[in-house]
Chains A and B, each alone.
Chain A
């Protein structure tokens, strides 16, 4: 009887998870998504807890309380820190899968060796490898995003790196195969930790050659791994809810990774094995050319005359915490009857959708946040394009220069606007170390300085000029 109740609860939970993701397709219905997800999870936990095999409750309660104690503060981080939080939660997901896998292996080895069928052990090995590599890989990614001092920010590469990385994985897989063949052998419990160690090491090695601009893709891939490790756990435990929920998470990570890769015109393999920052010495377009800079007063006057202003935000906006000032600028321009749109590149920021969340937090209506593909046809009608801390995603070089590391990457057609203002902290090239041709165009004017301050000054200038309103 209890078995039927449990399975029914799992079935309903699986349906609710699908609905939860379905409701994410529109911001209007998205709030139901959380309710459905919470209900599904509560059902799953409740149904598992009432099973007769669960006889000890003390540790469960302690672990759940501890989860709340750590989880609640983690949900209150500033939105600029959401990529780190996401990476950290992938790490926790990987750790959970890995630990449960290890626990099951030792349990069965010691008490129910008949459970160690080849199918189960295969799933176990996959669960362990995915779980533990996701654990350390995501911790490294979180550390890089948090700009921890002891984790190198710049990509770390060395000769034979890919060879070594793939070697680690091959050795781990070979030991795994040996375990599948002889799961009850005397040496099995001693080789098992070796797989764990190799997976932990592989996770670290996988992330050290990856730089900040690739983080959106890497976070998405780790998301898929975390989901797949839950699927593997489902196969081990014969639990279809785990398989369903894990597969939903895995496919989400997969789709996001594909979107990110397409937005950079790169393949999975290229992101994981072709360290971006290292690519080549950048071509210096700037030789013989000069930046033209514009004053705040001049820029404010041009902005006032515009009918359509497109703001292109990038990670630099997040670093400068300029999103609230951007919103003030948006309000000032709107007050004058100017149409203001935001053009969001899929890989702007450090995780998928990062810019949208930051701008939504600053109270900018999501109806004015437009995707690259939707805004590009309108760019020739755009009077002023204002680039705030974006660089590579607006570099026209991506269209034609085959030698450029960003060649082929779809970009926002800022260069087609009638006037371009680009806010830039310094005269150094962007993350990929590539000079941006956009900055040397006749119609481009630079506003040098911290994004928050420059936009604040623009708002002040417009406020003074518009004093008559």
Chain B
């Protein structure tokens, strides 16, 4: 993708700006409705989601670039993967703890 977007094919800045604007509105709309009970798990799941930087890291690490540049990519890939793995796992772990009285033993 990096190589596809050469100067001959100008970037579509405006559609990127639209995507950013609309995603932000969707994000605000969706997250306002998140239960306050779940704000800690929300933060860990958004951590994992923002590790989408994995996409950029993976391309830099795996492309035919000079080793020094690929090393930076590999460290970034490691950092993103750590966030993905620990973010989703800990979210799952926390969500399992939220029970109603019916879920547990009868009280």
Binding site for B on A (CB under 8 A): 3, 6, 14, 17-18, 20-22, 24-27, 30-31, 33-34, 37-38, 40-41, 44-45, 48-49, 51, 53-57, 59-60, 62-64, 66-68, 70-72, 74-77, 79, 82, 85-86, 89-90, 92-93, 95-97, 99-100, 102-104, 106-107, 110, 112, 114-115, 117, 119-120, 219-220, 223, 226-227, 229-231, 233-256, 259, 331, 334, 344, 346, 351-354, 356-357, 360-361, 363, 365-367, 369, 371
Contact = CB atoms under 8 A, between A and B. Distances in A.
A360 B98 contact: yes
Contacts of A17: 49, 52
B101 A59 contact: no
B98 A27 contact: yes
Contacts of A62: 74
Contacts, number: 398
Contacts of A236: 56
A56 B61 contact: yes
Contact of A27 (B35, B58, B61, B104): B35
B59 A53 contact: yes
Contacts of A77: 90
B39 to A, nearest CB: 3
Nearest to A360: B97
Nearest to A6: B1
Contacts of B32: 255
Interface string B5-31: 111000111011001100110111011
A96 B82 CA distance: 11
B50 to A, nearest CB: 4
B55 A68 contact: no
Contact of A241 (B39, B52, B64): B52
Nearest to A45: B54
A356 B37 contact: yes
Interface residues of A, dominant DSSP: helix
Contact of B37 (A92, A107, A119, A353): A353
Contacts of A255: 28, 31-32
Contact of B86 (A30, A74, A95, A363): A74
B23 A248 contact: yes
Given A44-B52, A238-B11, A360-B97, A100 B57 contact: yes
B69 A366 contact: no
Contact of A30 (B33, B78, B95): B95
B94 A248 contact: no
Nearest to B29: A251
Contact of A21 (B4, B11, B30, B61): B30
A229 B27 CA distance: 16
Contacts of B7: 114-115, 117
Contact of B79 (A79, A95, A365, A367): A95
- Indicate the member of A59, A76, A79 with the most B CB atoms within 10 Å: A59
Contact of A53 (B2, B34, B89): B2
B88 A37 contact: yes
A93 B83 contact: yes
26 contacts: A3-B4, A21-B46, A24-B45, A25-B34, A30-B38, A33-B91, A56-B64, A59-B62, A63-B57, A63-B74, A63-B77, A63-B78, A71-B86, A72-B89, A76-B90, A107-B60, A249-B50, A252-B46, A255-B31, A331-B107, A346-B36, A352-B43, A357-B94, A361-B94, A365-B99, A367-B100
A243 B107 CA distance: 47
B90 to A, nearest CB: 4
Contact of B100 (A60, A79, A353, A366): A366
B82 A92 contact: yes
Contacts of B104: 363, 365
Given A89-B87, A115-B7, A250 B24 contact: yes
Given A34-B91, A366-B37, A96 B64 contact: no
Given A38-B88, A231-B20, A242 B60 contact: no
Given A53-B59, A238-B5, A255-B32, A107 B40 contact: no
A229 B98 CA distance: 32
Given A246-B52, A252-B42, A75 B86 contact: yes
List of 5 A-B pairs having minimum Cβ-Cβ separation, nearest first: A67-B81, A71-B85, A353-B39, A251-B27, A75-B89
